[in-house]
A = this chain, B = another copy of it.
Amino acid sequence: MTRRRTHGFDCAPGCSVEAALSLIDGKWKGVILFHLLERPMRFNEIRRKLATVTQRMLTTQLREMEADGLITRTVFAQVPPRVDYALSDLGRTLEPALHALKTWGDSNMHLFSPAPDTLNAS
C-alpha cells in the first residue's frame, strides 16, 4: 500500500474517502477482497488467482487486512496445514463499494487497456 497506516487524522472533508481507500489500497487488496466476496479461500488458492503475487506480498496483504478487521483467518489443525481466509462482517460491508469499482472498471477499462487482441487482429 501507499498511504497505508497513514490515514492520519488531519481529516478534512473528503477524508473518509481516503480512509476507505487506505484499507482497500495496497497492490492486491482490492482483488483479494473481490475474490473473497465470492467465497472463502485457502492461501494457495488466492495465490493462484493472483498469479503474479509473491507469497511474501500475499502474506503481508492478508495480515494487514486481518489486522484491519476486513478478513478472518481460520487455521485448521491438520496435516497438511490448511488456512482459510474469509471476509469478516465488516469486510462484507465493503461489497457495495467494491462492486461500484468493478462496475466502473468493467465499463472503462478498455480506455486504458491496449486491447491486446485488436493489435494483431487487424
A48 to chain B, nearest CB (A): 9
Residues of B within 8 A of A50 (CB): 12
Contact pattern, A 7-44, Cβ under 8 Å of B = 1, otherwise 0: 11110111111111101111100110111000000000
Q: Are A101 and B109 in contact (CB under 8 A)?
A: no
Q: Are B26 and A24 in contact (CB under 8 A)?
A: no
Residues of B within 8 A of A26 (CB): 2
Residues of B within 8 A of A12 (CB): 31, 49-51
Residues of B within 8 A of A14 (CB): 30-31, 34-35, 49, 102
Q: Are A100 and B96 in contact (CB under 8 A)?
A: yes
Choice from B20, B30, B68 contacting A104 with Cβ under 8 Å: B20
Contact pattern, A 79-122, Cβ under 8 Å of B = 1, otherwise 0: 00000000000100110111111111111110111101000000
Pairs A-B, 8 closest by C-beta atoms: A16-B105, A20-B105, A100-B100, A97-B100, A14-B34, A2-B2, A20-B101, A14-B31
Residues of A whose CB lies within 8 Å of any CB of B are: 1-3, 6-10, 12-21, 23-27, 30-31, 33-35, 49-52, 68-69, 90, 93-94, 96-109, 111-114, 116
